[in-house]
Structure formats: structure tokens, C-alpha cells
Structure 1
């Protein structure tokens, strides 16, 4: 059985930037990890225009600018670039998903255009509205709906995630090796120790036994 034992490391660098603590899997942990992820989410919502159909369409110049802003605030290496963009793109997709709910409040594009959400540029909103009826966006929504329907065992950690849950478990049990099974159970149960669904329980039983 694999375990998650190991020490964490800190990225060395400038005193003017925040040093991010990483575990052995190069995942952010420690006190700064939560604000770091929040910062990445804000970048995804404020610096990636909603006028692009998907993340692959976002110009490299925009992504380079986002990476520069991250480096200006946090002392991290290029090895975290993939992690950074995965978080930024996820926040951007969630932002667009929420805007789609605003879009669905109205029956026609005239009303939608008149009701541009606060914090969104009108020109971006107009393009966003036009994109919703394209074959690409229709197919992406169908694909997303199918993918969500196939997920039967969601984690229960909220924004904390697996990496910070693992860190917490290690601190609370310094003399115990935390296994993958231990981490799975911890990230798929409610605070009271119960399982959210029968699927969660059955999955845990299969893994444990």
C-alpha cells in the first residue's frame, strides 16, 4: 500500500515575495496555500476575458501576463506553472459557468445584452452571448454535462483539498504513516464521520477491504 510519508520543502527566493511551502508532491501547503489558491482564482476571473470559447483559445500573451503577476507576488519555480494554470483555468471556467446562469435568466439576446452582469465588460458580454449558440459551445456544454453525471463520488473537503487535508492529518498524527486509503476516507466523509451517499460508502469499503 502506498503511503504519503515525507517532508515538505520551501521554495527559496526573494524576501519581497511570499515563499510558498510545498509538499513532496510539489503541492502548495501551509498557511500561504489558501491565499495563494484564492489569488489564482481571482486572476482567472479578472484577467481571462470570457470572450474566448475555451482555455486553449486564450492567447499566450494573456497567460504569460498572469504568470508574471504570480511571480511578482509569490516566490515559486517554473515547475509549478502547470499547477498555476490548472487553478486559473478552473476558476475561469467556473466564472463562465456562473455567467451562463445569468444568461439563462432571459429568453432572448436583446434582454441579455441589456443586462450585462456587474464586473463584466459589455463588449465581452456581447461576445459571450453570441458564443452560446455556436456548435463549439453547445458541444462543450454537452460534454461537461456528461462528465459531471459520471462523477459519483465527490470529495467533501471543499476548498481545502487533498494536499492541505494530508498536511493537517500529518500534524495531528506525527508518528503515523498516512496511507492513500486514510487520505481517501478523510476526503470523502462528512465532519460527523458519515458518508454523504451510498456510493461514497461502497467505494470506501472496496478500498479498505
Structure 2
């Protein structure tokens, strides 16, 4: 569970860095000069260079297209429904958690 939380924290951090500091500027020179606090210069330059590769740009565009087609978003967050059900069933009688309750939680 600790590894899961650490991985999620890292994903969230990278997502915020991309949204707040990478997407906010037009050119790589601007992005590299506007390094956020708490990030080493070498790490920031590597991060910007990685996100600027053609492969990453293609992934980004595919993701945007896929998200634009979603009409009914997944409402349980990053957890799969089976894991959400396990969490809800802890301390409850077996069978008391219905499928609609998992999606509403």
C-alpha cells in the first residue's frame, strides 16, 4: 500500500508540474527558464526535454482525443471497482455493498 501511495504522489506531482509549469509556456526556452521551486535545474531540464519529444506529444494528443469522447466519466477515481468494493465492505456484513453504491462512493 505504501508503494501505491508513493506512486500516486509521484504521478500527481508530475501532472501538476506539467499543467502549471510546462503547459503555461509556449517554448522550451521559456519553460526551462521558469523552473518551479523545489525542482533541481538538471531534473527540470530533463523533464522538459522528455515532454517535448515527438513520442510524448503524440501520447498527449491521443489522450486529449480520448478524453474528449468520454460521455460518462468513471466516478470512483483511480481505484478499480473491485478495490473500491473491498474498501467499502470492510467491517460490513457480506453482500451489503451493492454495485450502485460502489459507483456513488
TM-score range, shorter chain: 0.5 to 0.7
Q: Which residue of 38, 42, 56 corresponds with 1:137?
A: 56
Q: Distance in 2 between matches of 1:118 and 1:187?
A: 39
Structure with more strand by fraction: 1
Shift of 1:159: 6.0
- Whether the 8 Å contact between 1:156 and 1:187 is mirrored in structure 2 is no
Shift of 1:124: 2.1
Corresponding residue of 1:105: 24
Q: Which aligned pairs between 1:152-163 and structure 2 lie closer than 5 A?
A: 152-158=71-77, 162=81, 163=83
Q: Which aligned pairs between 1:21-170 and structure 2 lie closer than 5 A?
A: 33=1, 37-42=4-9, 45=10, 91=11, 94-101=12-19, 102-158=21-77, 162=81, 163-169=83-89
Shift of 1:150: 3.5
Q: Distance in 1 between matches of 2:6 and 2:46?
A: 26
Corresponding residue of 2:95: 176
Shift of 1:154: 2.8
| Structure 1, gaps ≥5 residues long | 1-32, 46-90, 192-209
- CA-to-partner distance for each residue in 1:8-50, whole Å, 9 max, x for gaps? xxxxxxxxxxxxxxxxxxxxxxxxx5x56323334xx2xxxxx
Q: 4+ residue runs of structure 1 moved beyond 4 angstroms? A: none
| Structure 2, gaps ≥5 residues long | none
Greater length-normalized contact order (CA 8 Å, ≥ 6 residues apart): 1
Shift of 1:113: 1.5
Alignment root-mean-square deviation, CA: 3.0
Normalised TM-score (structure 2): 0.66
